[in-house]
Structures are given as C-alpha cells and as structure tokens.
C-alpha cells in the first residue's frame, strides 16, 4: 500500500503545461534525493540528453498558468528567482541516467509508472465521459436517477421529521411514567 500512496503523491505532482504532462524540477529533485541546483547542473552538463520536448524552462505566462493549477512557485518578485525547469515523462526518466545512483534508477522507473498510471486514469475517464455525451439513453438515465435520488431524499427528510415527532411524544410519555 505504501507504493500505491507514493504513486498517488507523484501523480499529484504532474501538471499540464504546453499541453504536456510535466513535473517541476524541485519535485523531481526531492524524489531523486538531490538539490535542485545539482539536478539542473546535471541537466546542463548533459544537455544533449534533454531536448526541449524532454524539458524546458517556464516563461511568465506559464508561471501564471501554473498558479491556476495550484502549483505554488517561488515568488517571481524575488531578485534571485529563476524560472523553474519542467520535465516531461521522458525528461524525468532521462534524469535517472545523468544522476547516476541506485536511487535515481529506482525513482526513474517509479516516475514512469506514475505517468502511466495518470495516462490510464485519464483515458479511462475520458472514454466514460465520451460515452455519456454520445449516449442520450445514458444521459437521460443518469438524469432520471439524479431526480429519483432527490425525491427519495425529500421523502426521507419528511419521514425523519415524522419519526422525530413520534420520538419526542414517546420521550414525554416515558418521563410522565417516571
């Protein structure tokens, strides 16, 4: 179960930027057990392994967009602020080769699993949403089902009120008997 929890945590660190699923350098550095500076230096030393479709630095528009995805970034008004580098699935995995540690290999594989997990989740739910949109019968069924639930809740509420009144009457009668 611990691996599933870790997988979910990593999946929650994957964001959509430039229509790609990416992870921030600081999140990857934490996973790989290195400092962000060391991670970015390894990328610079091996830049040929990191074409733009594997990693890129965020621009000001993307920084603003990332805030809308609830990504808390360092305050850009800070003088020492450097735009974070983000890594696609391929770039995150390529890090395991340039960081050269046993942990880096294990984490790289785990990150690929997290991206795969997210991709499957999206595809599974995307198909479901498409089925709902394209199937009038299912849409009507769900709509009717929601209405029935709403009606049942109203009935339950009314019955609960009747039940509460009966309970209060019984309590009063019980107190009289004492």
Q: How do the domains of the chain map onto residue ranges?
A: 2-133, 137-177
Region 44-50: mean pLDDT is 94
Q: What is the pLDDT of residue 7?
A: 73
CA separation for the pair 27, 11 (Å, rounded): 11
**In degrees, to the nearest 5, what angle opens at C-alpha 104 toward C-alphas 49 and 16?**
65
Strand order in the sheet with 85-87: 14-17, 20-24, 85-87, 55-57
The enclosing H or E element of 20 equals: strand 20-24
In this model, does residue 133 exceed pLDDT 70?
Answer: no
Backbone phi and psi for residue 103, each to the nearest 5 degrees, phi listed first = -65, -40
Task: Please say if the pLDDT value at position 122 is more than 90.
Answer: no
Length of the chain: 178
DSSP 50: -
Lowest-pLDDT range, 13-27, 71-85, 130-144?
A: 71-85
Give the contacts of 54 (CB within 8 A, at least 6 positions apart).
87, 88, 90, 91, 94
pLDDT band at 86 (very low <50, low <70, confident <90, very high): very high
Burial class (CB in 10 A: 0-12, 13-18, 19+), 88: buried
| Torsions phi, psi for 46 (to 5 deg) | -125, 40
**What's this model's pTM, rounded to 2 decimal places?**
0.61
């Amino acid at each position: 179960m611990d691996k599933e929890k870790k997988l979910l945590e990593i999946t929650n660190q994957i964001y959509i930027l430039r229509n790609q699923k990416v992870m921030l350098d600081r999140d990857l550095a934490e996973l790989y057990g290195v400092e962000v500076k060391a991670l970015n230096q390894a990328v610079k030393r091996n830049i040929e392994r990191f074409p733009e479709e594997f990693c890129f630095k965020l621009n000001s528009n993307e920084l603003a967009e990332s805030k809308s995805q609830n990504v808390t970034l360092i305050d850009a008004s800070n003088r020492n602020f450097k735009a974070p580098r983000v890594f696609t699935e391929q770039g995150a995995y390529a890090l395991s080769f340039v960081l050269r540690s046993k942990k880096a290999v294990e984490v790289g594989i785990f990150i690929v699993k997290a991206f795969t997990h997210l991709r499957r989740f999206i595809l599974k739910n995307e198909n479901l949403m498409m089925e709902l949109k394209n199937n009038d019968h299912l849409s009507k069924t769900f709509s009717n089902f929601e209405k029935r639930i709403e009606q049942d809740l109203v009935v339950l509420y009314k019955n609960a009120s009747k039940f509460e009144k009966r309970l209060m009457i019984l309590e009063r009668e019980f107190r009289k008997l004492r």
